[in-house]
Amino acid sequence: MTTQEQALIDVATTTTADSAVPRLRREYGLDWLRVIAFGILIAYHTGMYFVPWPYSVKNRVTYDWLIWPMLFFNRWRLPLLFFISGAGVWFSLRRRGQGRFVRERLRRLLIPLVFAMFVIIPPQIYVERVLAGQHFNSYFEFWGSVFRLLPYPMGNLSWHHLWFLPYILTYSLLGLPIFAMLRTTTGRTLVDRLARLCELPGFIYLLNIPNITSALLLGAHWPTTMNLISDWANFTGSLLTFLWGFTICGSERFLNLLERRRGEFLFVASVMLILFYGIRLSTYVSGLPALSQRWIFTLVDSYFSMTVILSLVGWSRAHLNNDSVVLRYANNALYPFYIFHQTITVLLGYVLLGWDVSIAVKFPLLFGGTFLGSWLCYDAMRRTRVTRILIGMKP
pLDDT digits (tens, 9 = 90+) for 239-287: 999 999 999 999 999 999 999 999 999 999 999 999 999 999 998 998 9
Determine the pLDDT at residue 96.
83
Query: How distant, in Å, are the alpha carbons of 88, 166, 226, 324 from that of 20?
Result: 19, 31, 37, 31
Determine the pLDDT at residue 24.
53
User: Rounded to whole angstroms, how far apart are CA atoms 240 and 217?
Assistant: 14
Tell me whether residue 12 is exposed, middle or buried, using C-beta atoms within 10 angstroms of its C-beta: 0 to 12, 13 to 18, 19 or more. Answer: exposed
User: In the chain, what are the domain boundaries?
Assistant: 29-390
Give the side-chain half-sphere CA count within 13 A for 160: 27
- pLDDT tens track of the chain, all 395 residues? 443 334 333 333 333 334 344 445 789 999 999 999 999 999 999 999 999 999 999 999 999 999 999 999 999 999 999 999 999 999 999 888 899 999 999 999 999 999 999 999 999 999 999 999 999 999 999 999 999 999 999 999 999 999 999 999 999 999 999 999 999 999 999 999 999 999 999 999 999 999 999 999 999 899 999 999 999 999 999 999 999 999 999 999 999 999 999 999 999 999 999 999 999 999 899 899 999 999 999 999 999 999 999 999 999 999 999 999 999 999 999 999 999 999 999 999 999 998 999 999 999 999 999 999 999 999 999 999 999 999 999 98
Tell me the β-bridge partners of 151: 157
Determine the pLDDT at residue 7.
37
HEC string for the chain? CCHHHHHHHHHHHCCHHHHHCCCCCCCHHHHHHHHHHHHHHHHHHHHCCCCCCCCCCCCCCCCHHHHHHHHHHHCCHHHHHHHHHHHHHHHHHHHCCHHHHHHHHHHHHHHHHHHHHHHHCHHHHHHHHHHCCCCCCCHHHHHHHHCCCCECCCCCECCHHHHHHHHHHHHHHHCHHHHHHHCCHHHHHHHHHHHHHHCCCCHHHHHHHHHHHHHHHHCCCCCCCCCCCCCHHHHHHHHHHHHHHHHHHCCHHHHHHHHHCHHHHHHHHHHHHHHHHHHHHCHHHHCCCHHHHHHHHHHHHHHHHHHHHHHHHHHHHHHCCCCCHHHHHHHHHHHHHHHHHHHHHHHHHHHHHHCCCCHHHHHHHHHHHHHHHHHHHHHHHCCCHHHHHHCCCCC
Contact 306, 211 (CB under 8 A): yes
Query: How distant, in Å, are the alpha carbons of 42, 168, 237, 282, 342 from that of 369?
Result: 11, 28, 34, 39, 11
Determine the pLDDT at residue 18.
40
Instruction: List phi, psi (to 5°) of 325.
Output: -60, -40
Closest to 27 in 3D by CA, of 317, 334, 330? 317
CA end-to-end span of the chain, whole Å?
Answer: 17
Contact 128, 161 (CB under 8 A): no
**What's the predicted TM-score (pTM) here?**
0.91
Closest to 298 in 3D by CA, of 315, 317, 285, 283? 285
User: Rounded to whole angstroms, how far apart are CA atoms 129 and 118?
Assistant: 16
- Enumerate residues 6+ apart whose C-beta is below 8 A from 88: 34, 245
Determine the pLDDT at residue 84.
96
Contact 393, 378 (CB under 8 A): no
Query: How distant, in Å, are the alpha carbons of 11, 86, 179, 349 from that of 176?
Result: 18, 12, 5, 41
Contact 214, 240 (CB under 8 A): yes
